[in-house]
Chains A and B, each alone.
Chain A
Amino acid sequence: MEIFDIFLLEAILNGILLGGVLALLALGLNLVFGVIDVVWICYAELVMLGMYTVYWLFAQYGVPLIPAFLLGILAVAALGALLHYLVIQPVLSSAPINQLLVTGGVLFFLQALATLVFGVEFRNIGLRLPVLEFNEMYFSFARVLAFVAALAGMVALYLFLTRTYLGTAIRAISQDRAIMPLMGVNPKKIYLITSAIGGGLAGLAACLLVLQYDVHPAIGLSFGPITFMICVMGGLGNMVGGFVAAFIFSQFISVGGFFFAIEWGYVVAFAFFILMMFVKPQGILSRRR
């Protein structure tokens, strides 16, 4: 019983750490949705490209890890802005579902392009991070790092949105799209900047994921769906809600995986998501209207 409890506790704590990674993943998507009102179905593919960038720079060209990370983040940020400029902007005025689907087309494109350029092999950055031991429980250092980075990213984003002029403009335009242009804000520019920040957050997530997982072209499909579920369950555009939802999901996966197979953890998490949609369609932190 004693040993059982300690494994359960380890699963719970690992769930919390996984929650940090998921929260970080959800953060960029949430920002883009909240401001531009578009769901990037291809968000996880941006993360995948970020992982490849870091892998390529670090493992192939021997760029030190920190500069590789920074370049990776910058590359994905540029990609986010490019995505908005080339793909989203032309369909901004058409039906919302077209906006969703067009990024789905980008998903196929990026996934196939990665296959074309990088091949289907699983690639590992080849960096062994230590495993932390605490009270006979084992935690991966990469996860702890991801958890801390997620918290830092969220705080930084919060400060940026509330303390800077640009952040205020971003928040304002998400509240009223029609009025802000009249107040002298150029929505095109704001959208572009928001997309770049969203991409940058995807890049940050990529840096932390590449430490833990092998990168391959289809990796986006394995954590893409869960990222959308987290954003929707938290209330699309609601970042605090997304954060809470990330930790709920990660507990389902981690503790569910502890008791049953890991897939069952995901099944229960998705089933719970569907159930929550019926109970609180506006997100877990919403008030009843």
Chain B
Amino acid sequence: MNRLLALIGVLALASIPLLDIGNYYLHLLITILIWGFIYTSWSIMGRFGLVSLGHGAFLGIGAYTVTMLWNQIGLSPWLGLPIGLGLSALVAVVIGYPCFRFRIVGHYFALVTLALSEVVRLTIVALRDNTGGSLGMTPRSADTANSLYALQFADKETFFYIALVVWLFGLWVWKKVDRSMSRYALEAISEEEDAAASVGINVTRTKLTITVLSAVLTALGGVLYAQYQLYINPETVSGIAISLQIVFAVIAGGMYVQLGPTVGAVFTLMLAESLRIMVGHDVHGLDGTIYGLLLVLFIIFMPKGILGGLLSWWEKRQSPPPSAKPAPAE
């Protein structure tokens, strides 16, 4: 039943470009899919209490590695992609291993990863001879408008399908992790590390695996973003602001449910776009003000997020006798 619903949903999504809805709405959808994928990648580790404020680093490494390789030595993004992903995996190990080995958790983990995202941002700015610094950089245009070799497509339909496939892949990974043994190990670790270690869980290795997975997927999202937007700058793909944006969108949508991060992407984008249309370009900062206010309210009153909150409200309605079933985990 669920599988059928999912299939219908995917088919419905896939048929959207056939409806000829126009480039603006298609652009919104692609943006939602790309960010939905990035947010899902973050939540793969974030839901286990591994709150990283450094995912901007992986986003930036992915986007800049591929773009720089293409611009400077003409390496196809298809070959740049594995290099970028490998590099972000390497950074994840270099930072993650000592963190987990020396039990850096909670606030401290968040702040170490925050430092990492700033290191990447400042490195990009400092290498301004090659990266264009704060001005950002544009991937060199391919010879033809639609080039598979350069991973650049002039029509949005093609990119929509690419983003859709990648987004579905992200959800699939989420499900795989959710159904795996590691999930139980990770939940045990997030509750109490010493107790988890005492029942034979290799804490360091388990945490490192999920971190590397999350980092690599985030870097993939960064590459996708760069190839779609065809413009990146240090502020939009790395640093503290984007790292916090990732975390907050996930919280707004719901950290513990599969589609939560995507709902977060829809919510934040809709909020920004509708306010932009209603208020226009003249009033800067109104969308951010409302967004920030909503975030604070969410964390105080609705820590499970929009989708998480809705789902648990629905479950409560479905099963009125509270003693009949043990409380569902998430």
A contacts, CB < 8 Å to B: 39, 41, 87, 90-91, 94-98, 100-102, 104-116, 119-120, 217, 221, 224-225, 228-229, 232, 236, 260-261, 263-264, 266-267, 270-271, 273-274, 277-278, 281
Contact = CB atoms under 8 A, between A and B. Distances in A.
Given A98-B299, A105-B248, 12 more contacts: A87-B300, A90-B300, A94-B303, A101-B251, A101-B299, A106-B292, A108-B295, A112-B285, A116-B286, A270-B119, A271-B119, A274-B116
B109 to A, nearest CB: 9
20 contacts: A39-B111, A41-B244, A91-B299, A97-B107, A98-B303, A101-B299, A104-B244, A106-B292, A107-B292, A111-B292, A116-B284, A119-B284, A225-B115, A263-B125, A264-B122, A264-B126, A270-B116, A278-B104, A281-B102, A281-B108
A105 B106 contact: no
Contacts of B123: 263, 267
Contacts of B49: 95, 97
Most chain A Cβ neighbours within 10 Å, of B247, B283, B288, B296: B296
A115 B285 contact: yes
Contacts of A110: 292
A228 B244 contact: no
A112 B115 contact: no
A102 B108 contact: no
Given A263-B125, A281-B104, A113 B289 contact: yes
A102 B296 contact: yes
Interface in B1-57: 49, 51
Contact of A102 (B51, B122, B125, B300): B300
Contact of B111 (A90, A96, A102, A228): A228
Contacts of B287: 112
Contacts, number: 144
Interface string B97-136: 0110011101110111011101100110110000000000
Nearest to A102: B299
B241 interface: yes
A277 B112 contact: yes
B231 interface: no
B244 A108 contact: yes
Given A101-B248, A274-B95, A39 B107 contact: yes
Chain B interface helix/strand/loop/mixed: helix
A112 B106 contact: no
A264 B125 CA distance: 9
A59 B63 CA distance: 43
Contact of B292 (A112, A119, A229): A112
Interface of B: 49, 51, 95, 98-99, 102-104, 106-108, 110-112, 114-116, 118-119, 122-123, 125-126, 239-241, 244, 247-248, 251, 283-289, 291-293, 295-296, 298-300, 303
B299 A225 contact: no
A266 B300 contact: no
Contacts of A274: 95, 112, 115-116, 119
A261 B118 CA distance: 16
Which 10 A-B residue pairings sit nearest by Cβ, starting from the closest? A112-B288, A109-B292, A115-B285, A108-B292, A105-B295, A263-B126, A116-B285, A105-B296, A278-B98, A112-B289
Contacts of A104: 244, 247-248, 295
Given A96-B106, A120-B284, A221 B289 contact: no
Contacts of B116: 270, 274
A114 B299 CA distance: 22
A87 B292 contact: no
B285 A225 contact: no
B149 to A, nearest CB: 34
A217 B292 CA distance: 14
B102 A267 contact: no
B291 A229 contact: no
Contacts of B240: 221, 224-225
A28 to B, nearest CB: 17
A100 B122 contact: no
B107 A236 contact: yes
Contacts of A114: 285
Contacts of A91: 299-300
Contacts of B291: 108-109, 112
A221 B241 contact: yes
Nearest to A109: B292
A288 B107 CA distance: 20
Contact of B126 (A105, A112, A267): A267
A217 B115 contact: no
A229 B115 contact: yes
Contacts of A112: 285-289, 291-292
B122 A263 contact: yes
A281 B111 CA distance: 12
B299 A105 contact: yes
